[in-house]
Amino acid sequence: MNSCENMAFMVTFISYSVAMVFYLLYFVSRKTGAGKLATTTAGIGWIANTMALLVRSINAGRLPFANGYEFLLAFAWGTILVYLWFEYRHKFKTAGLFVLPLAWLLLAYVAVKIPVEQKLIVPLMPALKSHWLSVHVATAVIAYGAFALSFGLAIMYLLREREDIDNRPGRERLIERLPDAELLDELSYKTIMFGFFFMALVIVSGAIWAEQAWGSYWCWDPKETWSLITWLIYGGYLHARLTHGWRGRPAAVLAVIGFVAVLFTFFGVNYLLAGLHSYA
């Protein structure tokens, strides 16, 4: 990591930290100024995140999708991109309080857990020298970002539903400022639909890439297997909702389980299970 990339990373990390504070202030105070500052600082962080990825790409002579450090930067970038689009589309700033911490934690993991030697630019191994790498990882970044947003919305739903059940007269809680539970449920569903489509592209592009690299479309590598498990969890969510009317708490719990599978697909498989994707 050179000085420019390190500077961009630090600006990203600080901006996301400050944005979380402003989103909290907006949630507590409902002041328009705090909301605007939250969105602005999140946007500054995303631009700095983009710059870190661009500098990395220029220095490496390739897209920054080759190892765990680079993908974590891209994962955070995709999460904030999807969130900012969502906020712009639905005028819904409160979700930032539940989504920004996810991107912040990814970067905190980079800062604390990934050693300097793993941040160095190294030549690509032969299996990674494919245009399908860019397609495969880019679609994963968008899919994971959408699932991170759906996770935040599901957590908000569970908090709001609990408050609705325990709504005692004469008492006001901050949780009551969350949007209506039915709206949160619907937005989570739409976000999962979006992520599910991109996750399908992840699996298809990965299969094509695997055939070119290793001569087989499917090797039951741990990463492949857990990507499929994640996709099936979200597929089960959509099937249960569309055919059996699953809404509310069961759907929210399944959305949370799905994102836990997303995290295990990256962290658990990369660092606990040996396989063809151990380099990632």
Task: Quick: pLDDT tens for 14-42.
Answer: 999 999 999 999 999 889 899 999 999 99
- Quick one: pLDDT band at residue 170, thresholds 50, 70, 90? very low
Instruction: Report the CATH number of the 1-123 domain.
Output: 1.20.120
- Cα 232 to Cα 200: distance, rounded to the nearest angstrom: 10
Asked if the model's pLDDT at residue 130 lies above 80, the reply is no
Q: How far is CA 278 from CA 43, 265, 267, in A?
A: 33, 12, 11
- Is pTM beyond 0.85? Reply is yes
Contact 262, 147 (CB under 8 A): yes
Q: What is the mean predicted confidence (pLDDT) over 195-221?
A: 86
Instruction: Answer whether 227's CB lies under 8 Å from 203's CB.
Output: yes
User: Where is average pLDDT lowest: 1-15, 42-56, 119-133, 166-180?
Assistant: 166-180
Mean of the pLDDT values across residues 51-79?
A: 90
Confidence (pLDDT) at 218: 78
Q: What is the 3-state secondary structure (H, E, C) of 20-41?
A: HHHHHHHHHHCCHHHHHHHHHH
Residue 221 pLDDT exceeds 70 = yes
How many residues would you count in the chain? 280
- Residue 247 banded pLDDT, cuts 50, 70, 90: confident
Q: What is the pLDDT of residue 263?
A: 92
Across residues 172-186, what is the average pLDDT? 81
Q: What percent of the chain has pLDDT over 70?
A: 89
CB 20 within 8 A of CB 104: yes
Residues 114, 44 contacting (CB under 8 angstroms): no
What residue ranges do the domains of the chain occupy? 1-123, 125-280
8 A C-beta contact, residue 48 and residue 15: yes
Are 138 and 199 in contact, with CB atoms under 8 Å apart?
no
Query: Which positions ≥6 away from 131 have C-beta within 8 Å?
Result: none
Average pLDDT over residues 70-82: 95
145 touches 78 (CB < 8 A): yes
